Structure 1
Amino acid sequence: MHKFIANTEQDRQDMLKVIGAPSMESLFFDIPENLRFNGELNLEPGYSEIEMMNQLQQLSCLNKSIDQLVCFRGAGAYDHYIPTTIKHLAGRSEFFTAYTPYQPEISQGTLQVIFEYQSMLCELTGMDASNASMYDGPTAAVEAAIMAATIKRKKKIVVSKGLNPEARSVMKTYFHFRDFEMVEVELENGKTNPETLRAAMCPNCAGVIIQSPNFLGMVEDMHALGAVAKETKSIFIAYVDPISLAVLETPGNYGADIVIGEGQGLGNVINFGGPYLGFLATRSEHVRKIPGRIVGQSEDLDGKRAFVLTLQAREQHIRRYKATSNICSNQGLNVLMGSIYMATMGKEGLKEVAKQCFDKAQYTYDKLIATGKFKPAFEGKGFFKEFALVSDVPFEKIDQYLIDNGFLGGFSLAEDYGIEGGHLFCVTEMRSKAEIDRLCSMLEVM
């Protein structure tokens, strides 16, 4: 078997002759002798295809996924039902790419998918325009913040600590190199207090980012928080769960200027963390500041329906150092799955998914407290599908106990929010009453 590159010794000699090199070693003469590796790499012999597949299969069995565990964990990645039509249609060869249509005139199918996706997302969020999508929710938050800073020509962004910790972490990384300032607003009883937000605002603030339902599952008072943002003429950015918008008020109604979020729940599998689907929608007055591209509908010379790239920031391809954004990929395959999901479910289907999430989360919350192992982390039940509980039993003990018994329990809130013994549970439409009851019974006798 050949190592790495399947060529013979004669192939190597022929290539060396063409480039005028005496030996393979001569290709590395520019590297100082003391920096070169001499000898053979300590690698195992090459595997045959059968051996490699067996090895990979054994390694994969070391993981436990939601196929083996009943999932009660969310924290940004959600176990929603994925209709079988999605895998069937997304697997068609003409769709099977995540890359950007750089030759739009021959990419009508891809462009139509993006156009339909943008249309449905605008209807869901109440915004005027949506881009083709971005890498994930955290990068969408970064792009929205940069949009706000560009629009207002200011460099301060106020962020509620209810925003996903991963999104805040990614924002800090980007901001470090753009000389932006990020001010984080503490939560009170699991929510953002409008008065606390007001105290963090100033004339130099470009935008405010509020997540609702927030990372702790609580539905924020977006009308009141948006009003605070408008007091300093800041861009109001709402980070939302698209599933929740089937039953909660649309961001367009409560005055959001930009709407962002993670679209993984729209027909995309959890995939060990990616690739995911970040979305961004905005009002028409900000459309020329939007990152990525927008697909529009037109007519060809024969009067037939045709799709075109209506807007795209050329700087992201050519003058990168002057670009508003360097986002180039539109996560086309993820957009396709999101489009098929929304079209398959329709308004009533999405509403049913959201209603089941809400009802089952409320039921689970009460049942878990009744076990005697948990108490509420916050007052009230103003949550959508995730909720925080606190236990006197160490988190690690409960977590391992549940895994050993076939459950993936809550997400720990100790590191990100300092809530020792804090569990963030998530309940989607996938969980049956029997599964919920079994979880609670297991914890009751723990």
Structure 2
Amino acid sequence: MKVLVIGGGGREHALVWALHKSPSVTEIVAAPGNGGMGELARCLPVDVNNLHTMVDLVAVERPDLTVIGPEVPLALGLVDELESRRYRVFGPTKDAAQLESSKAFAKTFMQRHGIPTAEHALCTTLDEVRESLLRFSVPVVVKASGLAAGKGVVICNTRLEAERTAAQMFSGVLLGAAETEVVLEEFLTGEEVSFFALCDGKHAVPIAAAQDHKRVGEGDTGPNTGGMGAYSTDGLLTPAMRQWIMHNVAQKVVDGMASEGTPFKGILFIGLMMTPRGPMVLEFNTRWGDPETEAIVLRLETDILDLFNASIDGTANTVVIRMKPGASATVIAASGGYPGKYVSGLPITGLDQSDDDGVIVFHAGTAIKDGQLVTAGGRVLAVTAESADLRDALNKIYERLKTISFDGMQYRRDIGHRALRS
């Protein structure tokens, strides 16, 4: 079976790695891939922001299955285009992907279907922001409604700061593109948890929970990033809480989307805040998360191809998803200056070590230049391990990181600190 994976980050490298283990997969193509995927897949250039070039690539390669990693191709409607041409493709349609591509849509959807979430206001002008801010205490959260690569959420300690942040979102100064809608949201406190469910348009089936570390600095300080690391353990959620989330969030999403004529297929990523009032949904993603996926796939014992096929065929309720007991974690080695300005094209050394120590290095932002592996993004490597014990998995990762080097490399040394404290 020939599988095409769209994307070129750490998440896609992890999906390629998991697909490579499937006995049914005979060939993997990654587009565009990166400097580390070449050992497992044939990498082909493609612009994941250009719908037509991606469709043309599928028409040329004619894969048996296309797996879409990033959010942008989903928001552009790649699934719709491929399905209309009778290709098998894993992921939600453009309308279903609005759960992620429009925070405004997600908030109103949750209101309509009784899914617990923070109080909010939708604003299309700065005057509406000023008026709506009077309803909120501070701190208050300001969110870009559209896709923002994990950087469109700002916690503001004063109303003036919130107004300025919204103004920068509307103007495009903050995120590089002007927002037409901004969401103001009640600030919630508690532990954040990411929960992943497999959906087939009718059923939602639990996969695993993970905890991401968004802030660039240790102790959860500094600006938000796309994610500096994550871990997944059996103890993140009790069995009762998993069941509650599935009943009160995941299945409600699937039922609600179906009732509105936009069946949801693919991965539903539920970002939760475990507040004193109970779990509240912070956001939905409509694809595998990054860097959570890198940690989760190491624990996934079920053939990942079975998950993809069940989602497409409407048989997710028949799949037994088995996760290896214990824990896994991933730590991001990032470029100096990330999430701000950084330099690419820097040589990377120390990756010639084998994986005999149980550590897998997924490439997030790398390329081959003149035969040399170099940096090609803000998040460069996702150093990942699993073990019966979270501390042991993290110790393996940090030992491997000592051997890896590129100019300006930065990484957090406290991934998993909440779980280790408890």
- Asked if these proteins are the same fold (TM beyond 0.5), I'd say no
| Structure number with higher relative contact order (C-alpha < 8 Å, ≥ 6 residues apart) | 1
Give TM-score, length-normalised by structure 1.
Answer: 0.29
Give TM-score, length-normalised by structure 2.
Answer: 0.30
Structure with larger Rg: 1
